[in-house]
Amino acid sequence: MSWISSVFNLCAALKDLKREGWVRRGVQEPESVADHSYSLALLAMLAAAERGLDPLRAAALAVIHDLAEAVLGDLTPSEKEARPHYEEGERRVIEEVVEKLPEQAGSLLQKLYDEYASQSSEEARLVKQLDKLEMALQAARYEAEKRGKEGLAEEFKRSALNAVTDSTLRGVIDREME
C-alpha cells in the first residue's frame, strides 16, 4: 500500500468516526472527527492570521490534532485522563504513520504532532483553546437545531470556560452563547 493510500485510510476513518461526546448525549446525526477538524482548521487559520501568527501552521496543527483517533477511537476528555498511557498510544500511532511517509512529509507530521502535544508555540496554544471553543459553539448549534437536548449548550459552555483562558475567546463564548 502506498503512503498516500495509508494516509487516505486514516482520513476516511476520521470521516466515519462520530464524535463520542455527542453520541453519548444523544445528538441526532452528530459530526465526525473529520468534520470537527475541518471546522477547527478554518477557525485556527483565520484566528491566527488576525493575531499575526502563522495561519497555515495553525491550520495544519488543527488538521492533525486528532489524527491518532483514526486508530485509537474518539475518547472523551475524562476517558483520556483515566487512561494513564493514552498519550503514549497517540505518540505510537503518529510514529507508525510517520514511518510510512517520505522523509519530508514524515518530518513535518512529527514536528506538528510534537508541537501540538507539547503546546510549544502560540499557534499550538491557540488551536488547543479554539478546540474547546469550537466544541461549545457546536453544542449550541445542536441545541438550537433541536438535535441535542435542552441544556447541552450550557453544559459545554461551562466546560469551555473552564478550559479557555484567552480573554478574546472567552468573550466569544460569553457573547455567542448567552
Between the two ends of the chain, the Cα-to-Cα distance in Å is 50
C-alpha cell at 175: 457573547
Mean pLDDT of the chain: 95
At 154-163, the pLDDT tens digits run 999 999 999 9
Residue 15 pLDDT greater than 80, yes or no = yes
Q: Give dist(CA 128, CA 157) in Å, integer.
A: 16
pLDDT tens for 95-144 read 999 999 999 999 999 999 999 999 999 999 999 999 999 999 999 999 99
Domain boundaries, the chain: 3-176
Asked whether residue 78 carries a pLDDT value surpassing 90, the answer given is no
Angle formed at CA 17 by CA 161 and CA 130, multiple of 5 degrees: 25
Report the SS3 class of residue 18. strand
CATH number of 3-176: 1.10.3210.10
Q: What is the pTM for the complete model shown?
A: 0.94
